[in-house]
Structure 1
Amino acid sequence: MKGLLQTLRDWRSPSPSTDGDLGTLLEAADARAPRPERHLWLIRLAEWLRRPLGRQDTPADSTSDPAPLRRLRLMLDVLEAHPEHARRVRTLLQSIFGTLDATTLLADFGFSPRSGFSSELVERLRTRLLPATPDTGDLGQLFQMVLHDAGDAAWLEAIDEATLKRLGALLLDEPQTRHWRGALIDSVQMLASQIRAVALSAAIRPRLDPALLADRPFFQLAQSAAQLAEAEAAGDGGAQLQQIRYLRALLSTCRRAIDSVREHLEEHGVSVDIVFQVEQVHERIDRIEALLGCLASPAPARDWQWLLAQLARGVQGRRSLGRLFSHHYSMLARKVAERSAATGEHYITRNRAEWLDMLLRACGGGLVIAGTTLMKFAIGALGLSAFWGGFWAGMNYAVSFVMVQLLHWTVATKQPAMTAPAMAARLEHVGDSDAAIEDFVDEVAHLLRSQIAGIIGNLMTVMPVVVLLQAMAWLVQDAPLIADRTAHYALHNLTLLGPTLGFAAFTGVLLFASSLIAGWVENAFVFHRIDSAIAWNPGFVRWLGPERAQRWSRWWRANISGIAANVSLGLMLGIVPVLAAFFGLPIEVRHVTLSAGQIAAALGTLGVQVLQEPGFWWCVAAIPLTGMLNVLVSFLLAFRLALRSRGLKVRERSRIHAALRRRLRQAPASFLWPTAQVEQAAAGRVSDH
């Protein structure tokens, strides 16, 4: 025995930072040691299993198996050859698992102890930032410290049948088997009670399908789990199997019932906390099914193996903030994208009449922005502090954008972030046929034409109107509306030779952010049924009158998204640069229509002689590039969000690109204005569908 242990001591890992070899580890197994030292022994054992094998350490057989599995077999060989060490290890493991509450691992691990998304976020931050202690009575916490490596689940799943039998024979006896069966039963009862509590809570119960609650499945689930415990206590194997089958049927019914909450959220608005609770119920149902597999199987080793591998995989999930955000915000992102898509359909023109209508509405928007531009200079002339200057500039933009909305006009740069989700919706079936790809190309052409019509309409109005107002000021008061110094400063800022293009791209981010805010606000408006409150709340009805309350309800439901988008965009355009300057970030905004208005205002102040200066034309040259970046950045960000929220992976990119290139060659004008040929072809495809 001493010779074999000495050989094991010589079998070293390449890493000098670990705690010795297997021989030293086995000699240190002491069931009478204090609890922290016993838990540390288990952690060191897991570290030894994960240590890489050197070339001289690789056994002749099973070379394709993971290194931890080969080390596990080696340890079993040593323990089977030396019963004294096997007894010490068995006693130590039994002292660890026999004194810890196994339900903290089987019933609690992987689930939030609280019902809210934000509280789970705080818990994960605490787990990531604060160290854990091995001096714990929580088996779930000890499990995280032992199997914390990303590869642990893989080698647990790779354990073969023979190795599982050896482990069971070495480490389990009849009392241990009874102990773990009792823990399984207790865990099933706890999980069933937790599912019932969440499903029947005030947040979830009203959103469940009443038809699926007719047989009271969540009440029966907890009762059936209690009856399973009674059958286990009575030693009635037949009654146990009957209750397990009944529990599985109830779990299926409960799963369908909790799924109906998603359907309600799709129609009536999304709450991240409710989505989180629904996911927690789903995961608890899955856990009960796994525990029932361990109880019902005549040879449960494989079921235990799968359960432990899933728990080990869950360790990584419990530490991941990104996974928490991406998983639970995906449904909200989809709802925001869908609401933006519904709005975005109004910004896409598909024929000549709609294109001309968009051009005219954009001209109206440019008329309002002309006044906005001059008001911006007036606010700047007041000499307000930085914050209040930015705030009132933002209010000026917000009021102007809302006015454009109420007059049913348009500002071109508001279109892309709204139209991108509508475009993404077209991609869901783009791989079905060539006709679907051509339909998508049609939508791209429609969208580009709409953007061009919007920008042209805005610029056609804003620049002449600003120049005209400046000319009227010269006639009336023999002075322009803005001073020479202000005009020169505007041209200096807006030149293409400066950071204008970077600021234009940043403005595209703000345009995208405003569309997100619009979707979130509209979702909250629908989720909390504010429109119904306006229509039927007694206080509102007394104040407004029944008919006016109904009209206000419909108006706010139709316009809340646009109001939120316009107000948020206006305030961000005014305040964000001020906040950035406070932190020393030289960030400004460059909105194509507002920039064009400022250039026109400078022209009206400095006179026609400024047309001879190259600096003026560098500013003019920046206008189309500013518009392109405003549109492109906001569209791409919204398009990417829409794709991810729908789970779309475009596998037909090459065919789409080929179809776009073919359209550019055959009908390039179709991307600029509606041509009769393309309109007829698109109409023919629609009629074929």
Structure 2
Amino acid sequence: MKFRKPKPKMTLQEFFKLNFDENNLWEYKADEVDMLAELVDIFRPANPDVVLTVDISELLVILEENEQYCKGLSVYLKEILKHKKFSKILTDAGILSDTDFFYEVRHRLFAKLIPEQPEKNTLEYVLNQVFFMKSDPLWINKIPAEQVDVLFTQLNFYSVYVSSRAKSPLAELLFSIEVLMHRIAGRALESEVTKMVPEYENLESPFLAIQKEFALISDKLLEERKNYILPKDLGYKQLMILHRQCVEYVEHAFRNSNKFGISLRLNQNLLRIRQQLQRLRTLLPLLVLNEPEDARRNTIDLAYYLIEYNCDKNNVRKLINESTQLISYEITQHTANTGESYITKDRKEYFRMFRTAAGGGIIVAVLCILKVFLSKVETSAFGHALLYSLNYSMGFIAIYVLGFTLATKQPAMTAPALVRALEAGRREKIAPELEKYKTFAEFFARVFRSQFIAFVGNVVVAFPVALLGIWLIDITFSYNLALTKWFSLINNLSPVHSPAIFHAAIAGIFLFLSGIIAGSVANRDKHQHMYYRIQEHPWLKMTLGRIRTQRLANIYEKKWAGIVSNFWFGVFMGSTASVGIFLGLDLDIRHITFASGNLALGLYGANYNVSNEMIFWGIFGIGIIGLVNFLVSFGLSVMLAFRSRNIPFSELGDINAAIWKHFKRKPASFFFPSLRNSSRALLPESTAKSSRALSGKS
């Protein structure tokens, strides 16, 4: 099938000669927008990003020199725009239509593929047909303002203040503002929103007050038939004060999310109110005229807004960025608080980290042995997924509850703590530039050595414990558990002879997701007041007593998010291979601590009759698996934390330079604490938390 080459753009001279010469072809197209679309396309640049200015002087010259062309185009445009409704663009376009985030994403994606086409009596239909490229607002704003003013005058356009009758532009504008205010007040007075700002509980709602004030202004405009208000009008000044109070109300609700938590639905609700308030902040000044010439400028500005809003109404990236930023901030805030307990500051905490990691290594070694047992159970792929998931989940929960440490869980938790420290450093005005990151580099060294000793504790202990366990089973039951499994146990560790790196990356993703789950559960429970609800549960207080119920609530607050996170991490780890079998893909997981235990089991299963090459690649593979586990989970967590705090990724270069400078000066600090105790934790937000006991955090 052959595709036709795109038709070359016609010139302005050709356009006017074809449509506006003595034949007046435009009269036959007076109610069609195709001709206007052709005219706009003549000026539309191929790459609007690189164009500095879009010059329409040629059009102005043609209209000035040919009265017939100018009159014909003016009549055509007025006919196209006459009595076109545009209130829906101002009230709806680019504003969340629903509090359901996923519905909104689906709606916008579908509208991108097959755009909605409104009724032909609306301005939205005209704009959809003419300005259908998302980059159109960009190049339109690059047309010099003085040229637009001249075009406005040449075509004899009227300002929006000419009439306030029904269907007039001013009536549409007033109606749009009124609709926005009613919608804002309705959402803002919902109990889900008001409980986020208890400080306003006994105060008059600014959302109701602004409605009343605008009703007075609207009536005044209609009664005096001036169709505009002056900047010094007391009613307008009061309106803007109330608008600012509404904005402060919403921002206060967002800030209180740190105290009360926030749900995705409430986040969308507040975002919708914020967007509508921003829209009001744009539209209200259009009612004000200071000088007569402002009428033309305001009318042109309104046209710009209509084009911009209509082109931006299906922006999916903007929706996702706005909708997820606060949620991701709350999640990373929780993980940052948890991550502080993983960061050692002195030798005492450093060796305590080793002991807790050693405890984690003991449990992982047991899990390795149990998994080999479970692999011998004859069942379906689903059966193995269920058994492996239970094995992993129970083991990870045991590590967490007993206060032990799984080293690979640290990066997803410590990354947000690092970024929070960076955020504090960025607020300080320090020169030269690299000195701004000096404190952060020192903090990074603490994080790195904490991660290092945790890895050492896990790996060094998991190997001998797994070896001891399989030996005890053999001498007790005369059964070499890994006799038929030894080759795969060792070979699967090799980054050369197996996809171990890919499988380690999958484990890194799961480690990141488990951190997200922990933060999400903590944020949800905080928002739903779960701890308080348990503490004051009447049946529990009657059954267990007030003190025991209080203890239960405290345990829930401290442990539940971690238990859920570890449970799902176990499910992810245990079911990946079975999912791979179902999909026909080579999917599996490789985890550094389990790799150490599996190497021990493999060596015993082979009666130590293993080539030096296999041993080398097995040991080397353990290191590579740990590195990939760390890089993937840490990298993803850093990206999320950067985004949630609006820190540009361009700063990574300076950050890396500061870390490298600190490493060259004190390389040992990245692996071992100094002999003297370090100063207090560097995190400004919670300096005391890093000295808490490491138990109970994994």
Q: What is the TM-score with the length of structure 2 in the denominator?
A: 0.86
Q: Which residue of 1 aligns with 2:640?
A: 641
Aligned length: 657
Q: Which residue of 2 aligns with 1:458?
A: 458
Q: Which residue of 2 aligns with 1:383?
A: 378
Q: d(CA) in 2 for partners of 1:152 and 1:666?
A: 52
Q: Which residue of 2 aligns with 1:58?
A: none
Q: How does 1:281-430 map to 2 (within 5 A)?
A: 281-297=273-289, 298=292, 299-430=294-425
Q: d(CA) in 2 for partners of 1:20 and 1:194?
A: 48
Q: d(CA) in 1 for partners of 2:314 and 2:200?
A: 38
Instruction: Report which of the two has the higher share of helix.
Output: 1
Q: Which residue of 2 aligns with 1:4?
A: none
Q: Which residue of 2 aligns with 1:467?
A: 467
1:32–1:664 distance in 2 versus 1, CA, 3 Å: closer
Letter in 1 for 2:192: A
Contact 1:213–1:257 under 8 Å retained in 2:
no
Letter in 2 for 1:427: L
Moved more, 663-672 or 625-634: 663-672
1:525-545 Cα deviation digits (max 9, x unpaired): 211222222222334444544
1:165-214 Cα deviation digits (max 9, x unpaired): 54146343489831222222222211211211121123322223543872
Q: d(CA) in 1 for partners of 2:577 and 2:304?
A: 50
Q: Which residue of 1 aligns with 2:694?
A: none
Q: Which residue of 2 aligns with 1:198?
A: 187
Matching of residue 217 in structure 1 with residue 206 in structure 2: yes
Q: Which residue of 1 aligns with 2:666?
A: 667
The structural deviation recorded for 1:392 is 1.7
Instruction: Choose which of 81, 100, 105 in structure 2 pairs with 1:116.
Output: 100
The structural deviation recorded for 1:464 is 1.0
Q: Which residue of 1 aligns with 2:696?
A: none
Matching of residue 29 in structure 1 with residue 26 in structure 2: yes
Contact 2:86–2:172 under 8 Å retained in 1:
yes
1:157–1:350 distance in 2 versus 1, CA, 3 Å: same
Q: Which residue of 2 aligns with 1:129?
A: 113
Moved more, 459-468 or 23-32: 23-32
Contact 1:395–1:571 under 8 Å retained in 2:
yes
SS at match of 1:379: helix
Q: Which residue of 2 aligns with 1:170?
A: 155
Q: d(CA) in 1 for partners of 2:283 and 2:313?
A: 20
Matching of residue 160 in structure 1 with residue 145 in structure 2: yes
Matching of residue 508 in structure 1 with residue 508 in structure 2: yes
Matching of residue 235 in structure 1 with residue 224 in structure 2: yes
The structural deviation recorded for 1:339 is 0.7
Contact 2:494–2:618 under 8 Å retained in 1:
yes
Q: Which residue of 2 aligns with 1:260?
A: 252
Matching of residue 562 in structure 1 with residue 562 in structure 2: yes
Matching of residue 102 in structure 1 with residue 89 in structure 2: no
Letter in 1 for 2:85: D
Larger relative contact order, structure 1 or 2 (CA cutoff 8 Å, min sep 6): 2
Q: Which residue of 2 aligns with 1:60?
A: none
1:344–1:455 distance in 2 versus 1, CA, 3 Å: same
Matching of residue 550 in structure 1 with residue 539 in structure 2: no
Q: d(CA) in 2 for partners of 1:565 and 1:551?
A: 21
Letter in 1 for 2:591: H
Q: d(CA) in 2 for partners of 1:19 and 1:121?
A: 44
Q: d(CA) in 1 for partners of 2:356 and 2:630?
A: 18
Q: Which residue of 2 aligns with 1:622?
A: 621
The structural deviation recorded for 1:66 is 0.5
Q: d(CA) in 1 for partners of 2:478 and 2:675?
A: 51
Moved more, 541-550 or 384-393: 541-550
Q: Which residue of 2 aligns with 1:70?
A: 57
Q: Which residue of 1 aligns with 2:492?
A: 493
Moved more, 633-642 or 101-110: 101-110
Q: Which residue of 1 aligns with 2:693?
A: none
Q: d(CA) in 1 for partners of 2:558 and 2:13?
A: 67
Q: Which residue of 1 aligns with 2:176?
A: 187
Q: Which residue of 1 aligns with 2:600?
A: 600
CA RMSD of aligned residues (A): 3.2
The structural deviation recorded for 1:618 is 1.9
Contact 1:458–1:593 under 8 Å retained in 2:
yes
1:609–1:200 distance in 2 versus 1, CA, 3 Å: same
1:64–1:472 distance in 2 versus 1, CA, 3 Å: closer
Q: d(CA) in 2 for partners of 1:52 and 1:385?
A: 58
Q: d(CA) in 1 for partners of 2:160 and 2:673?
A: 81
1:405-429 Cα deviation digits (max 9, x unpaired): 1110111111111001111111124
| Unaligned stretches of 5+ residues in structure 2 | 1-5, 688-698
The structural deviation recorded for 1:315 is 3.9
Contact 1:13–1:51 under 8 Å retained in 2:
no
Letter in 1 for 2:285: G
Q: Which residue of 2 aligns with 1:274?
A: 266
Q: What is the TM-score with the length of structure 1 in the denominator?
A: 0.87
The structural deviation recorded for 1:492 is 2.6
Contact 1:31–1:92 under 8 Å retained in 2:
no
SS at match of 1:495: coil
Contact 1:590–1:626 under 8 Å retained in 2:
yes
Contact 1:293–1:300 under 8 Å retained in 2:
no
The structural deviation recorded for 1:445 is 1.7
Identity of matched residues, %: 23
Letter in 1 for 2:454: G
The structural deviation recorded for 1:476 is 1.5
Matching of residue 591 in structure 1 with residue 591 in structure 2: yes
Instruction: Choose which of 82, 98, 121 in structure 1 pairs with 2:67.
Output: 82
| Unaligned stretches of 5+ residues in structure 1 | 1-11, 54-62
Contact 1:367–1:465 under 8 Å retained in 2:
yes
Q: d(CA) in 1 for partners of 2:643 and 2:196?
A: 26
Letter in 1 for 2:54: P
Q: Which residue of 2 aligns with 1:244?
A: 236
SS at match of 1:300: helix
Q: Which residue of 2 aligns with 1:446?
A: 446
Q: d(CA) in 2 for partners of 1:389 and 1:684?
A: 45
Q: Which residue of 1 aligns with 2:3?
A: none
1:632–1:245 distance in 2 versus 1, CA, 3 Å: same
Contact 1:209–1:261 under 8 Å retained in 2:
no
The structural deviation recorded for 1:289 is 3.1
The structural deviation recorded for 1:237 is 4.3
Q: d(CA) in 2 for partners of 1:404 and 1:176?
A: 71
Q: d(CA) in 2 for partners of 1:323 and 1:636?
A: 23
Letter in 1 for 2:236: I
Contact 1:429–1:436 under 8 Å retained in 2:
no
Q: d(CA) in 2 for partners of 1:64 and 1:454?
A: 55
Q: d(CA) in 2 for partners of 1:488 and 1:384?
A: 22
SS at match of 1:676: coil
1:438–1:286 distance in 2 versus 1, CA, 3 Å: closer
Moved more, 582-591 or 95-104: 95-104
SS at match of 2:210: helix
